[in-house]
Amino acid sequence: MIPEFRGIYVVSEDTHDCNGSLVLRRKKKMLQYPSADIISTVEFNNTGELLATGDKGGRVVIFQREQESKNQPHRRGEYNVYSTFQSHEPEFDYLKSLEIEEKINKIRWLPQQNAAYFLLSTNDKTVKLWKVSERDKRPEGYNLKDEEGRLRDPCTITSLRVPVLRPMDLMVEATPRRVFSNAHTYHINSISVNSDFETYMSADDLRINLWNLEITNRSFNIVDIKPTNMEELTEVITAAEFHPHHCNTFVYSSSKGTIRLCDMRSSALCDKHSKLFEEPEDPSNRSFFSEIISSISDVKFNHSGRYIMTRDYLTVKVWDLNMENRPIETYQVHDYLRSKLCSLYENDCIFDKFECVWNGSDSVIMTGSYNNFFRMFDRNTKRDVTLEASRENSKPRAILKPRKVCVGGKRRKDEISVDSLDFSKKILHTAWHPSENIIAVAATNNLYIFQDKVN
């Protein structure tokens, strides 16, 4: 069933210190914010203890979950800033006279193998592997350097010392371990870590590349849909993801609303798919906008790898890997917008790319909408709910109240008219804790974290 959520807190990415680092603080009201502060991706790590966000300014902010204490047991769900670093800088491609944005498109965590954490972050062209580690000791007692790091005069050295480690204040360091660049002609839209934890793939509009995490100067092209004549181009790749358990299997979606399942055992270049998932279009619903709204913006395997979830502009669909001709479940996210597609096309909102996520047990689906609304669908009871991420409705410990959109006729007191929706407030990026009912919702430059009221 869909849990009842209560607010934990809200953080606003709106100010920077003198070093350009991000400062997170609570604000009562915010009228303006720089575009660089808009959150562009949200991702929990495999345990849920860490939560990473990336923004349009190329920064990555990592939150760490508060440890439970006997004095304040309710603080267990809270996430505090753990580390902040600049992942990408703006670049310029002089050969193509093209500016490369620093915006973080995706973040993917690697499973933790030791005390350090590793994550992949990407902008339009370059993927970076970051190591995030803690340091609480510093070496002292060098022979050739003094305590301030200056070289000592060899003539003054009369005895040899053994350096020792002294305790110091905890410091979290983020260092780039690998930089994977110069492999994509078009903008990267997806990265996915393989279940073998040795390789990952990066997908752009026309190609998908396979990388080894240890090798930065070479990648293998596994999908290439670029036609010989670009005038014959009919579709682009919109998202891609590896199977959670089978390292040879992956899926990618297209702007035509199709999903292709590929097996790397069949051939080195997976231009020929193993399965094609596509729902026949109802001729009665055909319109000028049909192809635009059928474009898939996100694709996700469930935790077992048996089902695929896809998000297009108006719906979320669940597909069974054993049935290609139609989805087994279809959920209407905001069908009341169907009559407003013309105005949404004029203000470019129809091209917004919404993401979708599973909960830890794959029983509930979450995805975003407009007016800072986000939707949840219970797959078992078929119940759905609309919730709002806003400062007014997200006071700490307050239960989120369901919202309803009135399409026509008389509007009730607690309903909002479809004509009153604010299309500049949109929730594109969401994340669900891998095992608990804790969700993170990015609304422009605000990160909202909600927790099951039972916790």
What's the whole-number average pLDDT of the chain?
Answer: 88
More confident residue, 353 or 72: 353
Q: What is the pLDDT of residues 225-242, one digit of tens each?
A: 999 999 999 999 999 999
Cα→Cα distances 204→81, 109, 190, 201, 250, Å: 31, 20, 7, 10, 15
Q: What angle do CA 450, 1, 433 make, to 5 degrees?
A: 35
CA-wise closest residue to 62 among 16, 20, 101, 117: 117
Are the CB atoms for 424 and 432 separated by under 8 Å?
A: no
pLDDT at 196 over 60: yes
Across the strands, what pairs with 448?
Answer: 10, 441
Check pLDDT > 70 for residue 11: no
Per-residue model confidence (pLDDT) at position 423: 94
- pLDDT (tens digit, 9 = 90+) per residue, 254-269? 999 999 999 999 988 8
CA dihedral (296, 301, 307, 308) in degrees, to 10, reads 0
Among residues 359, 246, 369, 245, the alpha carbon closest in space to that of 297 is found at: 369
The answer to whether residue 24 scores a pLDDT higher than 50 is no
Q: Are 152 and 202 a contacting pair, CB within 8 Å?
A: no
- Kindly report, residue by residue over 279-318, the tens digit of the pLDDT: 988 887 788 899 999 999 999 999 999 999 999 999 999 9
Q: Where do the H-state alpha helices sit in 204-307?
A: 290-293
Confidence of residue 245 (pLDDT cuts 50, 70, 90): very high
25 in Cβ contact with 10 (< 8 Å): no
pLDDT of residue 31: 43
pLDDT of 18 above 50: no
10 pLDDT above the threshold of 90: no
Provide CB contacts within 8 A for 133, sequence distance 6+.
115, 116, 117, 172, 173, 175
Categorize the per-residue pLDDT at 77 as very low, low, confident or very high, splitting at 50, 70 and 90: low
Say what percent of the chain tops pLDDT 90: 64
3-state helix, strand, coil in the chain (%, to 5): 10, 45, 50
* Spatial separation of the C-alpha atoms in residues 124 and 397, rounded to whole Å: 38
Contact 438, 386 (CB under 8 A): no
Q: Is pLDDT of 28 > 80?
A: no
Q: Which residue has the higher pLDDT, 404 or 152?
A: 404
Q: Tens digit of pLDDT for each residue in 153-183?
A: 888 877 887 888 788 777 899 999 999 998 9
Structure tokens belonging to residue 131: 């190591």
- Residue 189: name the closest of 305, 103, 71, 109 by CA: 103
Question: Which tokens is 189 given?
Answer: 């839209």
